[in-house]
Structures are given as structure tokens and as C-alpha cells.
Amino acid sequence: MQPLIRKIEAVVISIGVQSGVGTIEAVSEKDDSKKAIFQITSKTPLMTKDGYQIGISAIPVKAKIIVFVDSKSPSPMVSPPHITPLLVIYDQYDKKGEVCVGAFDKMLYCEQLNLKLHINEGTEIVDLTGKRVDRSELTEKMVFVFYDRATRSMPVQANPTKLIVTPYSEY
């Protein structure tokens, strides 16, 4: 089964903004011959590893970014590929934590990620605008998960610090 969300780790080469659309040109962190151009719209969330929204100008050249892409969305056949991401994370070196994107069932398990969430009172659950969201609204929606630690068990288990519920559905 092909995963719904693909994670790309890259290093920024250049950033541009023109007519309200931003572009981040980047190369793969593992293979600098693989280049991509990420097209940033006003709806593309740009965040830090701890879930705070930032502007495109806050991401410096040579910074590491983590880009989450819907693997089902069509990609134009140009080189380098032009990709519209679901989420861009500025991976600041002084920030700890992990980020993943997935859809969770009623038991807060994501088969694609093999991840089980344990939500507590300290877990912030919001939508992309920062408005509080009820825990019941997590199921079958695409969720951005921010957490510090996870177990090495199967499935992996995490206590997220922040969950951002998106309007996108897995189906």
C-alpha cells in the first residue's frame, strides 16, 4: 500500500515571493542532485518543529526543512518538480521534537504511521487558525502531530504536545 503522505527532508537553496505565491527551491538532504521547487500558497502552513506558524521569510537559505506531500496529488512532469506541500516544517537545530502527518481512527491509531497517540490534559488540539478543537474531531481527518518522545514498541506510542486538525479528509 502506497502511503498517503510522503515526507521529504531537504535543504533550502533559495526562497522567492512573487504575486502572493512563494517558492522554496531545495535539494534532498541525502542526495544534492535531487532538486525540487515547493510552491507555497497562502493556505500552505509553514511551521517550526514545535507547531508555531511562521512566514516564508523566517526560513533562511541553507536551512533544513521537512516537507509533507500528498502522494496522491498529481505532480507536473517538469524538472525540477514543482510540488505544492501540505505542510512545511522549518527544522531549527535548537528545537527538539518530531512531526508527522496522518489520519487517525477512533482509537487514535494511524495505520500508515504505525502510531498510537495518548492524549492528556496538556495536549493542545487546534485547527489551522489556532481555534480549539474537540478530541472527537480527530478521527478520519488529516492531523499534524507534534511530539517530543515516542516508544520503541509496536505500535509506536507518543504523547503529543500539539495536534493540528486540518480540513482535509483521508478519503
Q: Measure the CA–CA gap between 54 and 43, rounded to whole angstroms.
A: 12
Q: Measure the CA–CA gap between 38 and 80, rounded to whole angstroms.
A: 10
What does the block give as the cell for 99? 512531526
**Integer angstrom CA distances of residue 137 from 5, 47, 163, 164:** 20, 22, 11, 11
pLDDT at 3: 52
pLDDT at 2: 44
Q: Which amino acid is at 96?
A: K
Torsional class of 51: left (φ above 0), alpha (ψ -120 to 50), beta (otherwise): left
pLDDT at 79: 82
pLDDT at 59: 94
Burial class (CB in 10 A: 0-12, 13-18, 19+), 40: buried
Q: How remote is the C-alpha of 17 from its chain's centroid?
A: 21
pLDDT along the chain (171 residues), means of 10: 76 88 91 89 91 91 94 77 92 85 92 92 93 90 90 88 83 37
pLDDT at 80: 87
pLDDT at 85: 93
